[in-house]
Chain A
Amino acid sequence: MSNAHPTGASVSSAVLPSERCTAAWSVLANVPDPELPTVSLCDLGIVRDVHVDGGVLQVVLTPTYSGCPATEVISHSVQEALLGAGLGPVSVKQQLAPAWTTDWISESGREKLLASGIAPPNGNASMASTGQAQPLRFFSRPVACPRCGSGRTERLSAYGSTACKSMHRCLACLEPFEHFKPI
């Protein structure tokens, strides 16, 4: 866990810690992910905990991929949003375990991804248990087209505009689309 120094002006002492946390969650529900601005940090399931400790609002985040370049930007936007809402001082921590999984993307997050033309993760990522033998599979499970819903699609590229996505093409409506890979 890495620690950031608490910053920002104090919230009024009349505000109860529980109210401050509730307010913080609603602020974070509107902070967009920098690389997928249609979904919020809460939709993605990367905000793991919010609590008050010694007068400081503690926000625990988890990174998606080990090398995700957005990690620092996300910490920064969390700080800014909470300070802007007068909920400071704020301290943001990164927590690696348990490892983030696409299973934590909320139902509304999946709907928002779909609405913006990104096929949400298919299946349950945690089913692909890390310890068990995996069948040799050279082509990933079929992904439904986010535009026309057809299952007749093919993968064009294992990676897309970000590490968390792959590129596909619909063979029914012929539109290309991105897919949020299940991990």
Chain B
Amino acid sequence: MNSGTFQVGSTSMALQLSPAVCYLLRIADTCLIHAQRLCEWCGHGPVLEEDIALSNMALDLLGQSRGLLGHVATRLDPDGQEHIDEDRLAFLRDERQFFNLTMVEQPMRRGSAHAPAGDFADTVLRNFLLASWLKLLWQRCLASNDETLAAIAGKAVKEARYHQQHAGDWVVRLGDGTAESARRMQAALVRIWPFTAEMFVRDAIDADAEASGLGPARDSLQPDWRADVQRFFSAAKLSLPETGAFLSTGTQGRHSEHMGFILAEMQSLQRQHPGGRW
């Protein structure tokens, strides 16, 4: 991906994306798809309190994503002539036009060939690793020269901090719990760990955002993130797996096999009833 403006074609909406807009979409889409996955737990939580917590975290993430998508819409279509808005960006973009971390599109409650269905350990760890990452990202975005991004970050950082506390509480409780909970947490950590590499890649989009003062490059978040999560994993008596060569590419618009399915589910209503509101 070069650092100039590039077009991402689609049957429903062609978008001319600048590096800055792509940077914003990476955050917006990570929050949006993570929220959608968390919603799968609604009504299925292991205990009522956690069912409520997962839905409420999804709500915060959805709100953060909504703020960013609205901002992206304004940047893409300042005069409103192309009728691009937050809903169209969420519901009419195609798979290659989404730039979320591959981690968040992985099946959660329903499981996949690589992860058992409904293992709460996977959910706890994903929430924890992402909230720790988002907290740092939002903290750094407070100093963005994009006033809207800084304003969204000002709210989101408080929410991410609470999400991290909540998920971190579970990491310790289950990691340092029974032999069975510790075994399952360690197995889930081995499953999710390869997807964390993408959180700290540096590419032309990151370099552009860093140079322009829009936001931090992902690689600059890694030392603080590692120190932060290590505190919790030490308390949880979990050991960090080795980082291998695997590198996911969702932030480049190249997704895993699960992305099409989650979009089909999330977008079907708007695609069947374009512009429908309720």
Chain A residues within 8 Å of B, Cβ to Cβ: 2, 63, 65-69, 96-100, 128, 130-131, 134, 136-138, 156-160, 163, 167, 181, 183
Contact A159 B56 (CB under 8 A): yes
A156 nearest CB neighbor, chain B only: B49
Q: Which residues of B contact A69 (CB under 8 A)?
A: 59
Contact B168 A67 (CB under 8 A): no
From B61-69, B96-104, B179-187, B195-203, give the one contacting chain A: B61-69
Contact A131 B139 (CB under 8 A): yes
Residue from A63, A130, A158 with most neighbouring chain B CB atoms (10 Å): A158
Checking A2, A97, A130 against B161 with a beta-carbon cut-off of 8 angstroms, the contacting residue is: A130
- The B interface is mostly helix, strand or loop, or mixed, namely helix
Chain B residues within 8 Å of A, Cβ to Cβ: 48-49, 52-53, 56, 58-64, 66-67, 70, 139, 142, 147-148, 150-152, 154-159, 161-162, 165-166, 168-169, 172, 231-232, 235
- The complex places the Cα of A14 from the Cα of B166 at a distance, in Å, of 55
Contact A66 B139 (CB under 8 A): no
- The complex places the Cα of A130 from the Cα of B136 at a distance, in Å, of 10
Residue from A98, A128, A131, A163 with most neighbouring chain B CB atoms (10 Å): A163
B150 nearest CB neighbor, chain A only: A97
Q: Which residues of A contact B150 (CB under 8 A)?
A: 97
Contact A97 B151 (CB under 8 A): yes
Checking A100, A128, A134, A167 against B155 with a beta-carbon cut-off of 8 angstroms, the contacting residue is: A100
Closest 8 pairs (CB-CB, A-B): A67-B63, A66-B63, A97-B151, A157-B49, A67-B59, A96-B151, A99-B154, A159-B56
Residue from B53, B59, B66, B158 with most neighbouring chain A CB atoms (10 Å): B158
Contact B168 A138 (CB under 8 A): yes
Q: Which residues of B contact A98 (CB under 8 A)?
A: 154
